[in-house]
A and B are shown apart, each in its own frame.
Chain A
Amino acid sequence: MSDEHANLSPAARLTKWLVSGPPFVFLLLFFVAPSIIMVVASFRYPGEFGGLAPVAAADPATLQGLTLETYRFFFSDFIYTEIFIKSFFVALATTVICLVMAYPLALLIARSPKKSRDLMVLLVILPFASNFLIRVYAWMILLGPQAALSQLVNGVLGAVGAGPVHLLFSPFAVLIAMVYVHLPFMVLPLYTNLEKHDPSLLDAAQDLGANAWRRFWHVTFPLSLPGIFSGSTLVFIPVLGMFAIPDILGGTGDMLIGNLIKEQFLGTRDWPFGSTLSIMLTLAVLLCVWLAARVGSTRGRYA
């Protein structure tokens, strides 16, 4: 659009700045600037009373206070890398479970008559409209020690002679709530993709003698890969940074990256290290997006 830009009249140019200026300035101030500050903060020393060491201090020694200390610290103790790896696997597991649960639902909606599709999609979005914390809290009730599910599981375990287990405050509770909260993010892009498939392709496959499984595996599934990739990104990324679900439903050992970051900012108040962890999380997210885009584009050629 750059050539069109060159021959804009003065009035049109003014319009352009009037329209794009306010959101541009706002986001420059409250999104770009804070992000830059965070990068800078990750190279600073922590302040005496938490936060950062003052930038404009009278003491010139602190003025030059840029350091790689927090990054060195991150790699000096394997526990931090371990938490990153654990978060990655939790995000991966959540994504896979969401995919397995979302696929049949999305497929059914896509193959339903046009009139009922809107309602079926709405029914997927509706629980998603309830507050995030309420959806997590629901699992606190469902997995509580007096709840039917716990009684059942422990009844079965008791019958075979195994000790009782706690469903609440466990990795299991974290995973199930992660799936519950993010499921609609997987259903919607999948449905959007599946809905566009031409049913005559399946007819052709059937005429050529493909059974239901082969029709799915060789026609529907490859065509739905773009939907799978966008859904997976929408689930994977938020789960990677999630702190509230492990915080509420997890035990002491279920700390993920998000909890670590929260702890640095609000608990120990080591902001430089918190910033470093945030930068690491950003890099992890970018890496995943890049990988997904690459895999998506190579697979897309065969589909």
Chain B
Amino acid sequence: MRRGPWLWAAALAVYAFLYVPLAIVVVYSFNDSRLNAEWVGFTWHWYDVLLHDEDMLAAAGNSLFIALVSSLSATALGTMAGMAMHRYGMRVLAFMVLTPVAMPEILLGVSLLLFFIQVLNLTLGMISIMIAHITFSIGFVAVIVRARLAGIDESIFEAARDLGASPWETFRYITFPLILPGVIAGGLMAFTLSIDDFVITFFTAGVGVATLPLRIYSMIKIAVTPEVNAVSTLLLLTLTMIVLASRFAPDVLRGKT
């Protein structure tokens, strides 16, 4: 049973279950047929269609812009939250930071929709999407930063204080360099979450602005063509690279590899 053949077989079957569906999406993005049914021949056609699809390109631009702004903001706020939670406990703040992460996404989506329209009287669009993305990303950044802080020997901060460093100097020269890998990992996480989010964006986007996931959703719902496969393949490639970067960047920054 330790690592017997049955365990290997079961585990490999699960790996196959994880990868086969995605592989099929990628393969059909090169298929010279409108239907995702049988293999006809190799083509770049769907990528060509994609690159001339103004709506899709605009949506991709929106997604990137939103992800950039919201991940930077969420990284700043999340780092602060992580530090506050680590240093001062602050159970109320911890509750506020972690609950949006733990509850079903739709709840945050509809409550923000209600709040934006009924209370702020805000026209839904870029701003509302960004606020929503920041709200659910803060928790992820905070958790990563707090975990990083928990691994640091407290006496180093005491030493800095004894040597006369101000709180700002301690942060600037001691704390920040030490938590930087966590901050970067958290930021990348927030970026991926933002670019990937469908549910919360769906409720806070309104009619004017489309992000990439919203555009993909309407294509899947209305008219499926292999253009969806092409955009999926490109997205898959991009996000895989981000995940790999977030895995390996911290090591590189610490000068380990």
Residues on the B chain within 8 Å of A275, using CB? 110, 114
B223 interface residue (CB < 8 Å to A): no
Q: Interface-forming stretch among A59-67, A134-142, A159-167?
A: A134-142
B131 interface residue (CB < 8 Å to A): yes
B236 interface residue (CB < 8 Å to A): yes
Residues on the B chain within 8 Å of A147, using CB? 36-37
**B107→A23 contact, CB < 8 A:** no
**A101→B14 contact, CB < 8 A:** yes
What is the interface residue range for chain A against chain B? 35 or more
Question: How many interface residues does B have (CB within 8 Å)?
Answer: 86
Alpha-carbon separation in the docked complex, A55 to B231 (Å): 45
CB < 8 Å neighbour of B37 from A26, A144, A242, A271 = A144
Residues on the A chain within 8 Å of B123, using CB? none
**B167→A11 contact, CB < 8 A:** yes
- B128-159 CB mask vs A (1 if < 8 Å, else 0) is 00011011001000100000000000000000
**A138→B111 contact, CB < 8 A:** no
**B84→A23 contact, CB < 8 A:** yes
**A20→B107 contact, CB < 8 A:** no
Main secondary structure of the interface of B (DSSP, over half): helix
- A138 in contact with B21 given A23-B93, A34-B114 (CB within 8 Å): yes
B196 interface residue (CB < 8 Å to A): yes
Residues on the A chain within 8 Å of B180, using CB? none
Alpha-carbon separation in the docked complex, A229 to B5 (Å): 27
CB < 8 Å neighbour of B232 from A102, A131, A180 = A131
Residues of B34-51 contacting chain A, CB below 8 A: 35-38
A208 interface residue (CB < 8 Å to B): no
| Nearest CB of A to B11, in Å | 4
Residues on the A chain within 8 Å of B78, using CB? 23
**B14→A16 contact, CB < 8 A:** no
Q: Which residues of B contact A (CB under 8 A)?
A: 1-4, 6-8, 10-11, 14-15, 17-22, 24-25, 28, 35-38, 76-78, 80-81, 83-84, 87-90, 93, 96-97, 99-100, 102-108, 110-115, 117-119, 131-132, 134-135, 138, 142, 166-167, 192, 196, 198-199, 202-203, 212-213, 216-217, 220-221, 224, 228, 232, 235-236, 239-240, 242-243, 247
4 new A-B contacts, CB < 8 A, other than A16-B87, A134-B22, A261-B106, are A129-B242, A134-B25, A137-B232, A237-B104
